[in-house]
Amino acid sequence: MFGLPLLYLELAIGQRLRKGSIGVWTSISPLLGGVGMASMIVSFCVSLFYNTIIAWVLWYFFHSFQDPLPWSQCPLNENSTGYNEECEKSTPVNYFWYRNTLNITPDIETSGSLQWWLVVCLATAWSVVYICFIRGIESMGKVMYVTATFPYLVLTIFLIRGLTLEGATDGLLYLFTPDWNTLMNPQVWLDAATQIFFSLSVAFGGLISFASYNEEKNNCERDALIVGIINSATSLYASISVFSILGFKATNAYKSCLNQNILTLTNDFEIPDKDITLENYDEWITKLNSTYPDAIASLRECELQTFLDQTASGTGLAFIAFTEAVIEMPGSQVWSILFFVMLFTLGLSSMFGNMEGVITPLKDLNVVPKWIPQEVTSGILCLVSFLVALIFTQGSGNYWVEVFNGYVGSVPLLVIAFFEIIAVSYIYGIRNFSDDLEYMNGSRPNIFWKACWLVISPVMLLTVFVAYVILQIQTHPTYPTWNPEYVSNSPVLLYFMRL
């Protein structure tokens, strides 16, 4: 109710005024220049940590050619007398991510040194962005034919493979089963709004810049509807692919948990091997619980729902949950290569919009003289971005990514979107805007669009923002940390530190 209306609004206003985010809003009112400036700053900040994620993807891609995959087993200790203790306390997948890749520090206050392998990957990522963006929209359009279509090919391959795996049905049931209690949490609605902003690229300013290149009488309403439908269909398509594989991962973890309990029961009660199986496990538990309740109570609790709930999110979904699922699949190297190539192309596509959301507003501000070639402007921006983003290659870099992702790429977008809708609907005027749409599309907007722009969208955005502020006042912000000295029953050595 605010994603699609905002998408339509940005396409229309950019196409009509033929300017970037700052130029558009200052044309409506000089007092609204801050909206465009905010979009530019958010686009720049998001580009910094987004390309860092692409650097991580490159690191995993390079290691995907090893057999076996380096995150499939723990490395030996220094004396080669056993496995690394830190890895054994966690899992090989977590160890490779937190130690081999990030070499993470205990908290955000301990910066650590620059990790040279991440610096190299980050430099490579920014070099690729520069090459693709070297001549702006002219060169970028050709690259996007590949970056926009290749992920569909990989998703289709993963979908076919995922649906044939054991546990895929459980993963899909988990995906489509609503949890109504979760909907009462304002953070969930903020996350949903953030996801819409990122998937549609609204409130970043890049969409306005792209729209300024459209023909003056292009039907932007049709474009908004097509993009919105394709975006929703793609999200559903990708979710089915991902959750079928996560269901497979959870099922394997569930069976592993049961097998550990079976081994414990077999040893403790001297039960003949193979008497207890996965099929008759519940019968044995019921039987032994009547006479040895304490022994049964000490067993590890094995619930498939629990393992599904433990599925990681954000960067953890790609670098922990999915990589752990991949090593269980035959031909794991091939699946890993395909997965990280897909992530690379997806990340690259997102970077184009973010970069356009920075360069075009800079031109609107006349910060960049017109005689400077596009190649030089793009090069300077990429170089400056690379130097600033070196903070993410420190030992504490992942913590800074979490902070940027949690605060730069969420609430500011909510505020920007709110003021964009208010600016067009009430300052520029819905009647003037309707006249512009009639000029471009050949028809005035219907009652649905007007209701969204005038009431529904701003009220929803304001409600989510107020609820989030109230939630933040009542709680303390936290971030997950890796602490090898802390050992719990969970295989993931994480606890939450207050900011």
Tens-digit pLDDT profile for residues 274-283: 888 888 988 9
Q: CA triplet 301, 315, 52: central angle to 5 degrees?
A: 155
Average pLDDT, the chain: 88
Q: How far is CA 289 from CA 255, 259, 265, 283, 306, in A?
A: 20, 18, 12, 10, 22
Q: Is 60 exceeded by the pLDDT of residue 491?
A: no
Query: Residue 138: its pLDDT value, please?
Result: 61
The annotation places the binding site at 199, 231, 346, 350
Higher per-residue pLDDT: 487 or 34 = 34
- Tens digits of residue pLDDT in 184-224: 877 788 788 888 888 898 999 999 999 998 999 999 999 99
Average pLDDT over residues 463-472: 86
Using 50, 70 and 90 to split pLDDT, how confident is the model at 102?
A: very high
| pLDDT score recorded for residue 492 | 47
Per-residue pLDDT at 496: 47
Residue 485 has pLDDT above 70, yes or no: no
Task: Give pLDDT tens digits for 377-402.
Answer: 889 999 999 999 999 999 999 999 98
Band of pLDDT at residue 420, cut at 50, 70 and 90: very high
The pLDDT tens digits of the residues spanning 216-235 come to 999 999 999 999 999 999 99
Nearest CA among 320, 147, 336 for reference residue 249? 320
**What domains sit in the chain, N to C, each tagged with a CATH number?**
3-498 (1.20.1740)
Task: Say if residue 258's pLDDT is above 60.
Answer: yes
Binding-site positions for Na(+) read 199, 231, 346, 350
Tens of pLDDT along 7-16? Answer: 999 999 999 9
Its pTM stands at 0.89
